[in-house]
Amino acid sequence: MNNFIGVGSASLSYRLLPRILVLLFFSILLFAVSFISFSFLKVPNYLLISFAISIGFFALFGLIVYLTAYLEYSNLKYLIEDNAILLKQGVFNVDTETIPYQKIRNASFTQNFIQRLYGVGNVIIDQDPETYIWESIDNKTAQTIIEAVSNKSNIQPIAVSEGEPNPYQVK
């Protein structure tokens, strides 16, 4: 059996916090709507009922959000082999992508502003005939994958010595 390696916990935080914030927004919205509705209908203890409904909503869907984010995070795994790299991801259906080193044309790591704050980013592997994007991976794991791909594939890093003219410099 293959021994896949999991990604860092920054990937879980990046997946979880935005979803919790959206859930909190909808819980507050539900509280406001139920508060206004129950006060208009003159329901006794409408403040307490509205609060209980929004807390129950937050607790129920918070558990669902946490479980799906945790399953997504726990299934983010990789395996570096001699001839290929294997990447796993998924929540309920776990997909394993096998990418042979000989087909890789380019590998890169990109981050937007929010991803930089969390220490995560996207690993992009260009291969013949498609591009594979492994999303929201912590920086350390991404660096390990990029180094393995560049060491074992035909990708050669561009290095220019200071004494030599740069052939890629725009004039």
Q: What is the pLDDT of residues 80-103, one digit of tens each?
A: 998 999 999 988 898 999 999 888
In which order are the strands placed within the sheet that holds 120-127? Answer: 104-110, 120-127, 131-138
**Does residue 78 contact residue 98 with C-beta atoms inside 8 Å?**
no
Determine the Cα–Cα distance for residues 122 and 112; give it in Å rounded to an integer: 9
C-alpha 69/C-alpha 136 separation (Å) is: 12
Beta-carbon contacts of 89 under 8 Å, excluding residues fewer than 6 positions away, are: 72, 75, 76, 95, 97, 134
Residues in the chain: 171
Per-residue pLDDT of the chain (171 residues; tens, 9 = 90+): 568 999 999 999 999 999 999 999 999 999 999 999 999 999 999 999 999 999 999 999 999 999 999 999 999 999 999 899 999 998 889 899 999 988 888 889 999 999 999 999 999 998 878 888 999 999 999 999 998 888 887 665 544 445 555 555 555
Instruction: Take residue 70 and report the two structure tokens written for it.
Output: 């945790």
Q: CA 93, CA 54: separation in Å to the nearest integer?
A: 31
pTM comes to: 0.78
Q: Give residue 109's identity as a one-letter amino acid code.
A: F
CA distance 71 to 19: 14
DSSP annotation of 9: T
